[in-house]
Amino acid sequence: MTRRRYPLLRATAELINAVNGVRPLGREGYITLPVFAFGWPTTEMSPVYLVVSVLDALRRGLRGDFCGARGRIALLLTAIAWVLLGIIQRRNIASAPHFEGPLRETLGEDYEAIADKSQPAPHRRMIGVWPTELVRRRYVEKTSTVQYGPHRRTNRADVWRRADLPRDGKAPVVLQVPGGAWAIGMRRPQAYPLLAHLAERGWICVSIEYRVSPRHTWPDHIVDVKRALAWIKENIADYGGDPDFVAITGGSAGGHLSSLAALTSNDPQWQPGFEDADTSVVAAVPIYGRYDWFTSSGSGRKEFIGFLQKFVVKKRIAEHRQLYLDASSIKRVRPDAPPFFILHGQDDSIIPVQEGREFAEAIRNVSTSPVAYAEIPHAQHAFDFYYGSPRAHYTARAVETFLSWVHAKRRQPADAGPAITAP
């Protein structure tokens, strides 16, 4: 009996997936989750998808799947999907100006020259598609997985550093806070393109895990981030890092936590038992973050508030509104905030781009420090995750340039103009 292969159904699925990569098919309610799950790999790994699809089509063609009228229609639909995948990759490659333009507008035309003076050039560039574990092992010694807090199973961190960095040096430091809807929080393999790029440029990066929901309850998450900052200030000099230059970054939930930590430095409310510890940062780079925990109207807001009430905060917003307001970065903006570089994708189906726009506007209206906002056309959530993605490369380069600019400005002699000071 001949096995039925349904080539038309398969081709239709490929085409729908490619269309979803070109533009998300859903932006309201729970449909956004599968839209993201299928759309992110398509948008950021389109060359891989294309190669696999072409090879599979050749295999199926040799066995006769494209014979007959239905087969020819299936081949046409598959070819259209290939064209769309090519368009996606071309858009990705062309997105570089959307990372560079906001920095030039905010920091000045000479921002790259100033940033280049801060750090030496890498001795060997990491390019192309690298296995994530190989990337990590290149920069993280086995002995550099550390315990930064009292919760042994969750307060763990990797210290990324170049092996040739002097232990008595003063390399700038970045804390990476992972995302995962406040329910995952794994330090591996998030932000590997950024961490590898920064480490190659002579930075020391600390990538953490933290307590997550539903097992743990807010504000355990932000308390752990602040514990990590306190640990860095006390210990990073042993790894050759500068405790006086610690920046923070993170994506999604990590974008929320990193922005909130930057705006609430040394706040004893979230430093139980270490109230006197220094948890300030010199700069913050939140990426596609949630900055508003209280608004109930708008795309996906009802579902988000419901998720917080049931799994993260575990308290109703109607009776505990102040708790949700305190956890909202957009409500914690202040004049002495450190420099910010905010990034968000226009096609983000998990956290709508409007959230990034509103947060950038809110902090710009009050902060005396530079605030750059990059809105990336056609980018889905987690656009910086995959090592072989052009947008991941552009993100790493732009974030490193921004942080190097801040570093250079803080080291600038008094007679060379105003320097940025710590908040």
Q: Which of the residues are catalytic?
A: 252, 348, 381
Q: How many residues does the chain have?
A: 423
Calculate ∠ Cα 236-241-246, nearest 5°.
80
- Quote the tokens at residue 317: 């917003």
Quickly count: other Cβ atoms within 10 Å of residue 67's Cβ: 12
CA 24/CA 90 separation, integer angstroms: 17
User: Among 338, 336, 355, which residue's Cα sits nearest to residue 346?
Assistant: 355
- Report the helix count and the strand count for the chain, using DSSP H and E: 14, 8
385 contacts 120 by C-beta, under 8 angstroms: no
CA 190/CA 178 separation, integer angstroms: 6
24 contacts 39 by C-beta, under 8 angstroms: yes
Say which DSSP state 186 is in.
-
Burial 268-287 (b: 16+ CB within 10 A, else e): eebbeebeebbbbbbbbbbb
Q: What is the four-CA torsion angle of 177, 183, 189, 195, rounded to 10 degrees?
A: -10
Query: Omega into 418 within 30° of 0, i.e. cis?
Result: no
